[in-house]
Amino acid sequence: MDGNDVRSTRADTRRQAILEVAREVFLQEGYAAASMSAIAARVGGSKATLYTYFPSKEELFAAIIAEECRTGAAPALDELRRGGEVAEVLVRAGRKFMRFLTSEKVLALHRLVIAESIRFPELGRAFYEAGPQRGLQLLTEFMTEAMAAGKLRKADPELAAEQFINLCKAGHHQKCLWNIGCIPSEADIARNVDRAVETFMAAYGTQRG
């Protein structure tokens, strides 16, 4: 490993440490109250150093969301890329998606964005673009390919993707989000997603699916 590789690794490690500390600060204090100075102090460096990684608080928060979505949603998105029979792919991807969506970390970030997005609409935009929009795009691509192959009936692929996501979320996500129900077990998620896939395939499926 040469000097450039070492510096790159150190920078990546430092960046990850900043994201982890900043996430804690945002969740504890809220977006408005959290300051770059407080985050820098907890990380153990100067505010100037923090700004070399993230030029603004908005960009730092957006990076936290993007990182959480990238790592947390990756298993579900990988299932879409693996391919296979449509129903089987949707079961695998749907279960992993719901496991991610109902995790404590993601629920906490979701609640924070909801609470702060009226005063700071950029938070809602960052959350949507890094999470729901990206996931919807990839699922829409999957639906488009399945429809072109005759495995799903011809329809609006984006609408089909949205409907499948909402079928998976039904019954658990809102209760978790509003903190009126416990985090669903693996069995709860499997049962809910299996029913979601059955309902979706009844509406969009073909004999080839």
Q: What is the pLDDT of residue 156?
A: 98
Confidence of residue 50 (pLDDT cuts 50, 70, 90): very high
Q: What is the pLDDT of residue 28?
A: 92
Confidence of residue 1 (pLDDT cuts 50, 70, 90): low
Task: Supply 41's token pair.
Answer: 């102090």
Q: What is the pLDDT of residue 192?
A: 96
- Higher-confidence residue: 62 or 196? 196
CATH (residue range 57-204): 1.10.357.10
How far apart CA 185 and CA 67 sit, in angstroms, is 25
Q: What is the pLDDT of residue 39?
A: 94
Amino acid at 66: A
Mean pLDDT confidence for 25-45: 91
Burial class (CB in 10 A: 0-12, 13-18, 19+), 102: buried
How far apart CA 130 and CA 135 sit, in angstroms, is 8
Over the stretch 72-124, which tens digit does the pLDDT of each residue have?
Answer: 888 998 999 888 999 999 999 999 999 999 999 899 999 999 998 899 888 89
Residue spans of the domains in the chain: they are 1-55, 57-204
Residue 150 in contact with residue 208, Cβ under 8 Å?
Answer: yes
Confidence of residue 5 (pLDDT cuts 50, 70, 90): low
Quickly tell me which residue has 């049962």 as its tokens. 191
Task: Supply 198's token pair.
Answer: 């059955």
Q: Is 110 helix (H, G, I), strand (E, B) or coil?
A: helix
Check pLDDT > 60 for residue 209: no
Residue 193 in contact with residue 87, Cβ under 8 Å?
Answer: no
CATH (residue range 1-55): 1.10.10.60
Residue 19 in contact with residue 51, Cβ under 8 Å?
Answer: no
Q: What is the pTM of this model?
A: 0.84
